[in-house]
Chain A
Amino acid sequence: MNHLQHNPDLTSSVIYGLGWVYLLMFLMNAYWVRRSYALDGNCRLSLGGILGKGEQIPVAAFWAVYAGMLLMVAITHLTGSNNPQQFSLQMPEILKEPINRASNPVAFFIGSTSLYVLMIVLRKWWTTPTAGWILLNLSILFLALSVTDYDFRQIVGKPDNVPIVAMLYIVGFFTWLYFKKSVDNDERKAAGRPLFEQENNEKVLTWPDLVYTELVCMVLVTAVLIAWGIVLQAPLEEPASAAKTPNPSKAPWYFLGLQEMLVYFDPWMAGVVLPSVILVGLMAVPYIDFNKAGNGYYTFNERKFAVSTFLFGFLPLWVAMIVLGTFLRGPNWNFFSPYEFWDVHKLELLNNINLSELFWIKGLGQPLPVVPPGASFAQQAPIILLREWLGLVGVAFYLVVLPNIMAATVFKKFYIKMGFLRYMVLANLMLMMMSLPIKMVLRWAVNLKYIVAIPEWFFNI
């Protein structure tokens, strides 16, 4: 029963700090009670017949009860922190166990992609202020409870990781704001009313209207940076030593999405080709987006394809990969669940297999064609090409034939409007982006390592 000892060192200072978090949440929700009382109106409450036909009570009452509970929780933390081992308000094991068991790269990617789909499909529902507020509260509660777990705290609490947690909230907020404003503008368009950005759009003088906003921004940013600098010391580890390799060795956090791609691609793809494609693709955006609508205002309906593609690249494939690489990848780049100890000795079976091996050994029951040692390039080439023909044909099909098939089918309208060159750039960029999820799924489904495996030439795909 050693999982009962899962929080060996929940400390007083952590409990005390959480007390302030809950107090802040109480204040936020006290404000929300006021707002809800003014705006949300009443609902009928019957408590399963106890109140007869039910009574009209303000919606704000529920928020008031919730806020009151937060206040009590906050007081409990602030006053009860002197005996941390007995402290009971912790992430319950009954939640930790299933979360830990369900966590793996497959679930993570499927989860983030599903969130992405839901976010678009349910954009009318989750962008209401109440829904946004509920999501914010749930996420803070989850984070605050999780912090009581030692292993979670070790990773999330690293000074360099704090900005990533902040980034998640900021990106989440602005995504929410985008969809909220888009839904509003799309409804306005449908009803024939002017866009939000077109209403009250008189010219104003830059001094004071813009200059003062900028001043306030600068003061706030400066204040935040100084406060942040006082509270959190910049990390400084032991002096550099070329002899002592830390495990895991991680790139700076903003490159961890790329480092995560190393699981599925060789360095020449994950570290060079794909980043270059991302940058070239970003620069190409204005030249391949032929849609003239949606210039200078928020909209989703008028730019469904462009926005969905960009959001897919930014949220599940960039931000979520950084989260995965930072918080869930431990020693030897193994996957670790949120509440799992980063055990250096954790073993993961690596029985990945190349497409050529699947074809020759499993498919035909023959050994792989062997390149004799010391062979010259001219002697190697035909044997290697024979060995890898299926993968090479597959890749050629994917990058050369598939764009043409798409031009005749799903992207027919695009092809006609864009012309050959622009269409081909778009199609290839899309296919390069999709190559990551495809490679992931192939890895998880059939343990595929390389589609084309030519280690002799450092050419593995």
Chain B
Amino acid sequence: MSVGDYIRGSQIWKSIFRHPAPVDRRNRVVVMLTNFFLHLHPVSIKQQGIALSYTWCMGGITFFLFLVETITGVLLMFYYRPTLEFAFNDILALRDVTTLGIMREVHRWAAHSMVITVWLHMYRVFLTGSYKPPREFNWVIGVLLLVLTLLLSFTGYLLPWDQLAIWAITVGSNMARATPFLGYEGPGAQLLNIGGYDLITNGSDARFLLLGSRFVGEATLNRFYILHCVAIPLVVSLLIAIHFWRVRKDGGISQPL
């Protein structure tokens, strides 16, 4: 008996994998049903539905990039402190000193890639008409995921705390100042006053809510850090789960009727 057979015959192995290797038809079915990660998939699937030239694999790659971002992001969090004192220097250290500091590069390039792949996934889904009934609502969830992807990238942009970061966020968040009614330079904000007392000021408007301050400062860094590392990923994870579940419940990968 070879070592491999011994390991595969052991109680530990059998408790983890509840079937022999998926080399025959029966076990290829069983593996899809019993493996937690694989059970997202159906057991069998239409050949053209998984053809690369049809799906472009963009949804799958987007999800994989999300996982890459999570893993590299967690590693980066070990080395990064979101305060004015440390943020920039921690990034410098990641670049110059830290072992596997390349995680930052991978994190950034994967982030850019994820923005692109999520667009292309939407592009493909539109061009194959896959949002049509019964998949309308999953398209809506997809649009929400697109927005959240952009917000994840946007909030992460600030964290290196260099010139590129704060000015990109300043330019981006200046828009919120002009939100109708809720921004202090937005149309209609003047109407929101009680007895001559303005409700919407630069200390209480939409931009202040976003930045936690009147300008991009330490409060903003903290706010964006938590949004980037905790709040948005939690929401995204939930929506991804629903998105995948709905793909199955709405009839699997779209195909000609």
**A residues at B contact (CB < 8 Å):** 160, 163, 166-167, 170-171, 174, 177-178, 181-182, 195-211, 213-214, 217-218, 221-222, 225-226, 228-230, 232-242, 244-246, 249-255, 258-259, 266-268, 270-273, 279, 282-283, 285-287, 289, 292-299, 303, 306-307, 310, 314, 377, 454, 457-459
Contact = CB atoms under 8 A, between A and B. Distances in A.
User: Chain A binding site: helix, strand, loop or mixed by DSSP?
Assistant: helix
A288 to B, nearest CB: 11
Nearest to A297: B256
A279 B189 CA distance: 23
Contacts of B186: 268, 272, 458
B88 A240 contact: yes
B124 to A, nearest CB: 7
21 contacts: A163-B113, A174-B56, A198-B256, A201-B48, A204-B46, A205-B28, A205-B45, A206-B45, A228-B109, A234-B105, A252-B154, A254-B115, A254-B150, A272-B175, A272-B180, A282-B122, A286-B135, A295-B257, A296-B132, A377-B191, A458-B189
Given A166-B116, A292-B133, A293-B129, 13 more contacts: A163-B116, A170-B120, A174-B56, A221-B113, A229-B106, A236-B91, A245-B167, A249-B168, A252-B157, A267-B185, A268-B183, A272-B179, A294-B128
A209 B50 contact: yes
Interface stretch (B57-65, B224-232, B233-241): B57-65
A202 B187 contact: no
A246 B180 CA distance: 28
A307 B131 CA distance: 13
Interface in B159-202: 160-168, 170-172, 174-180, 183, 185-191
B139 interface: yes
Contact of B46 (A201, A213, A222): A201
A196 B255 CA distance: 11
Contacts of B28: 205-208
Contacts of A238: 162-163
Q: Which of B29, B153, B168 has the most CB of A within 10 A?
A: B168
Interface in B56-76: 56-57, 60-61, 64-65, 68
Given A239-B88, A296-B256, A209 B162 contact: no
B104 interface: yes
Interface in B1-25: 22, 25
A283 B105 contact: no
Given A197-B54, A233-B105, A458-B185, A242 B216 contact: yes
User: Chain B binding site: helix, strand, loop or mixed by DSSP?
Assistant: helix
B203 interface: no
B38 interface: yes
Contacts, number: 274
A178 to B, nearest CB: 5
B133 A201 contact: no
Interface in B121-169: 122-124, 126-133, 135-137, 139-140, 143, 146-147, 150, 153-154, 157, 160-168
A226 to B, nearest CB: 6
Contacts of A259: 171
A174 to B, nearest CB: 6
Contact of B47 (A209, A273, A314, A458): A209
Given A210-B41, A268-B187, A237 B132 contact: no
B253 to A, nearest CB: 8
B153 A267 contact: no
B99 interface: no
Given A163-B112, A214-B60, A295 B254 contact: yes
Contacts of B60: 214, 217
Contacts of A196: 48
B77 to A, nearest CB: 16
A203 B224 CA distance: 46
Contacts of A241: 163
Q: Which of A166, A239, A258, A457 has the most CB of B within 10 A?
A: A239
Q: Which of B116, B162, B171, B174 has the most CB of A within 10 A?
A: B171
Contacts of B188: 457, 459
Given A203-B45, A236-B92, A218 B124 contact: no
Contact of B116 (A167, A202, A289): A167
Q: Which of A181, A272, A292, A314 has the most CB of B within 10 A?
A: A272
Contacts of B126: 285, 307, 310
A207 B154 contact: no
A296 B140 contact: no
B65 A458 contact: no
A202 B48 CA distance: 8
A272 to B, nearest CB: 5
Given A201-B255, A295-B257, A206 B43 contact: yes
A174 B92 CA distance: 38
Nearest to B126: A310
B31 A207 contact: yes
B43 to A, nearest CB: 6
A293 B136 CA distance: 15
A197 B256 contact: yes
A15 B173 CA distance: 41
Q: Which of A217, A266, A282, A287 has the most CB of B within 10 A?
A: A282
B50 A213 contact: yes
